[in-house]
Amino acid sequence: MALTLNEQKQFQLDCKRKLAQAKTPLEKLRYVCLSRGASGINGLGRQFRIIDDDNNKQISKEEFAKVCKEFGTGLTNEEVDSLFAEIDRDGSGSLNFDEFLEALRPPMPESRRKLVELAFKKLDKTGDGVITVDDLKGVYNARSHPKYQNGELTEQDVFREYLKTFESRGEVDGKVTWQEFLNYYSGISSSIDEDVYFDLMLRNAYKL
């Protein structure tokens, strides 16, 4: 259901190559995130949630610059200013968090997005917009996992390992939101040219 270790390494190498070729601040920030792994955009999202004290999902220019610096994006002050202005289209002086993530995600064809949504809905048995360990029971066969079979992990452990795939390092709460799921598969999608292969991968993984 997620990338293997070798696939993850190859994915990160591909993103580092794209980072070296990036021409705009938005592309640079996108591939800085993804070069850290398919859940890299979730990592940046976590930084913004931490700084959003009043939970209004608005990011000021100062907050934006601070997070870009703390996350180690390598963007210059001019690039940060340019990127902020590009996303702040109404000139309000603040960014909507969800709109920012939407811009940061690699573009994904609508057919792929619908398939990702189908997979999420299948896993989210309760329909509350969040995948938890309880949702996975009866949907994800933990007993076929090699580490379950050799006794290294319990069934609960396997479920938690699966959920950790979509979360950034340092933020493991055992829950995966639709945004986190979409961020992850947007990254994966950017590294797969053929729609047929992406379609087959998801259908096989989630038995869609």
pLDDT tens track for 191-208: 888 899 999 888 887 888
DSSP for residue 142? G
pLDDT digits (tens, 9 = 90+) for 55-113: 778 888 999 999 999 999 999 999 999 999 998 888 888 888 888 888 899 999 999 99
Last residue of a domain, one of 35, 69, 104: 104
Domain that holds residue 149: 110-206
DSSP for residue 166? T
- Are 97 and 161 contained in the same domain? no
R_g of the chain, CA atoms, integer Å: 18
- Are 18 and 96 contained in the same domain? yes
- Are 118 and 29 contained in the same domain? no
| pLDDT value for 143 | 77
Query: Domain count of the chain?
Result: 2
| pLDDT value for 168 | 61
pTM: 0.76
- Are 117 and 96 contained in the same domain? no
DSSP for residue 107? P
If we measure between CA atoms, which residue out of 137, 132, 142 comes closest to residue 180? 132
CA triple 168-157-208, angle to 5 deg: 75
- Are 9 and 100 contained in the same domain? yes
- Amino acid sitting at position 196: V
- Are 51 and 84 contained in the same domain? yes
- Are 24 and 92 contained in the same domain? yes
Average pLDDT over residues 150-154: 86
How high does pLDDT run on average in the chain?
86
Last residue of a domain, one of 104, 131, 164: 104
Per-residue confidence at 39, pLDDT binned at 50, 70, 90? confident
- Are 20 and 68 contained in the same domain? yes
- Are 140 and 91 contained in the same domain? no
If we measure between CA atoms, which residue out of 29, 43, 187, 22 comes closest to residue 107? 187
Backbone φ, ψ for residue 2 (5° rounding) = -130, 175
Point out the least confidently predicted range of 30-39, 48-57, 130-139. Answer: 48-57
Q: Are 73 and 29 in contact (CB under 8 A)?
A: yes
pLDDT digits (tens, 9 = 90+) for 114-127: 999 999 999 998 89
- Are 169 and 136 contained in the same domain? yes
Tokens at residue 172, please? Answer: 């493991």
Q: Are 58 and 52 in contact (CB under 8 A)?
A: yes
The alpha-helical segments, DSSP class H, found in the chain are: 5-21, 25-34, 40-51, 61-70, 77-87, 97-104, 110-123, 133-136, 146-149, 155-164, 178-190, 195-206
Q: Are 93 and 61 in contact (CB under 8 A)?
A: yes
Last residue of a domain, one of 104, 127, 151: 104
- Are 154 and 197 contained in the same domain? yes
Query: Which of the pair, 204 or 180, is modelled with greater confidence?
Result: 180
SS3 59: strand
- Are 117 and 166 contained in the same domain? yes
Query: Which of the pair, 171 or 158, is modelled with greater confidence?
Result: 158
CATH number at residue 160: 1.10.238.10
